[in-house]
């Protein structure tokens, strides 16, 4: 994984939240929160919380007796998340999922939406999640399926790659959509000490009001932007337009309705 893949800074967090939240994240955030709806008390830790999309869904569904701690490696992402939080229910903290600053058996659940793919040492992160969970606690997380089953990301990747044929930016295919092997993930979870692992593949619809909205978040609100600018800082607008044209050619001038697909893992201590 390129080092730049884990850096969400500058204008990226705000664009990520504005465009990607409705495009690809909100549906799965609601689904993840629903899976914890039976929790009536205790504590939940969210790792790689990003701009707080899942956090907001958890606030809506979990009773006040459940405490929430939300962490992320990138301060810029947490700044956007904290600005949206008007409840004071959440304890926000910068933290590395591979070295959590919490004692053993501190939480009833650990959740992570589309963050595992960014952990350089995934087995270590799984061990950390297991360490901070109470006996019988749940580790709930999601990863994207192959990029071919996520139409917008696939179209954006091919369009941008065509602009840089000798050195195509591959952030989307390499990292967010590059870690989808269910058997390998299940094996790593069991190696980390989880005794019961279940996985469910969920297909949903990725929707946007226009092709421009559909691609802006992926091109300019992720580290794909940094990859493009590293090759030629003057071509970001060109890359965005190329991606918009590719999506428009596939879905037309109106609202976008595309396939997206993810795997949801539930691992129990």
Task: Express each pLDDT in 193-213 by its tens digit.
Answer: 998 999 999 999 999 999 999
% pLDDT > 90, the chain: 95
Residues 76-114 have pLDDT tens digits of: 999 999 999 888 899 999 999 999 999 999 999 999 999
Q: Kindly report the average pLDDT of the chain as a whole number.
A: 96
Question: Quick one: CA dihedral 12, 231, 243, 49, positive or negative?
Answer: negative
Phi, psi of 97 (to 5 degrees): -60, -15
Instruction: Tell me phi and psi for residue 29, to 5 degrees.
Output: -65, -45
Burial of 99 (0-12, 13-18, 19+ CB in 10 A): exposed
3-state secondary structure of 133: strand
Residue 177 pLDDT class (50, 70, 90 cuts):
very high
133-144 vs 256-268, strand pairing mode = antiparallel
Lowest mean pLDDT: which of 8-12, 158-162, 263-267? 8-12
Q: Which residue has the tokens 């992160």?
A: 125
User: What is the C-alpha separation between 202 and 91, in angstroms, rounded?
Assistant: 30
Sequence-distant (6+) residues with CB within 8 A of 217 are 15, 16, 18, 19, 20, 23
User: Is the predicted pLDDT of residue 240 greater than 70, yes or no?
Assistant: yes
Residue-range domain boundaries for the chain: 3-268
CATH architecture of the domain formed by 3-268: 3-Layer(aba) Sandwich (3.40)
Average confidence (pLDDT) over 25-39: 97
Give me the pLDDT at residue 86, please.
87
Task: Tell me the CA distances in angstroms from 12 to 75, 81, 132, 257, 263, one per residue in order.
Answer: 12, 13, 30, 24, 25
> In the predicted model, is pLDDT for residue 1 greater than 80?
no
Structure tokens at 27: 């549906």
Contact 176, 260 (CB under 8 A): no
Looking at 45-92, list the stretches that DSSP marks H as alpha helix, in order from N- to C-terminal side.
53-61, 75-84
Where do we find the tokens 């600018």? Answer: 229
Sorted by sequence, the CB contacts under 8 Å of residue 187 that are 6+ apart come out as none
pTM of whole model > 0.85? Answer: yes
pLDDT of amino acid 66: 97
Give the whole-angstrom CA distance, residue 256 versus residue 213: 9
What is the spatial distance between Cα 229 and Cα 204, in angstroms, rounded to a whole number? 32
Distance between CA atoms of residues 146 and 160, nearest Å: 18
Q: What is the mean pLDDT of residues 52-74?
A: 97
Average pLDDT over residues 62-67: 96
């Amino acid at each position: 994984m390129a080092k730049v893949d884990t850096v969400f800074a500058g204008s990226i967090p705000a664009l990520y939240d504005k465009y990607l939240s409705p495009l690809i994240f909100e549906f799965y955030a609601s689904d993840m929160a629903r899976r914890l709806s039976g929790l009536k008390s205790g504590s939940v830790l969210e790792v790689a919380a990003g701009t707080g999309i899942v956090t907001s869904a958890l606030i809506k569904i979990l009773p006040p007796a459940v405490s929430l701690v939300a962490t992320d490696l990138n301060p810029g992402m947490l700044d956007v998340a904290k600005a949206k939080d008007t409840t004071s229910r959440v304890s926000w903290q910068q933290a590395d999922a591979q070295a959590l600053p919490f004692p053993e058996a501190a939480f009833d659940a650990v959740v992570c939406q589309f963050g595992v793919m960014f952990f350089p040492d995934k087995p270590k992160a799984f061990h950390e999640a297991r360490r901070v969970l109470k006996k019988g606690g749940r580790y709930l997380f999601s990863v994207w399926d192959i990029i071919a089953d996520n139409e917008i990301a696939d179209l954006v990747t091919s369009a941008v790659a065509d602009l840089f044929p000798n050195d195509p930016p591959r952030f989307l295919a390499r990292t967010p959509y590059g870690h989808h092997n269910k058997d390998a993930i299940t094996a790593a979870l069991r190696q980390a000490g989880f005794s019961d692992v279940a996985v469910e593949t969920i297909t949903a619809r990725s929707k946007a009001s226009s092709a421009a909205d559909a691609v802006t978040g992926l091109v300019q609100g992720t580290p794909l932007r940094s990859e493009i600018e590293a090759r030629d800082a003057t071509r970001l607008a060109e890359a965005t337009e190329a991606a918009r044209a590719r999506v428009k050619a596939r879905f037309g001038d109106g609202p976008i309705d595309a396939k997206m697909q993810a795997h949801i893992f539930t691992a129990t201590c």
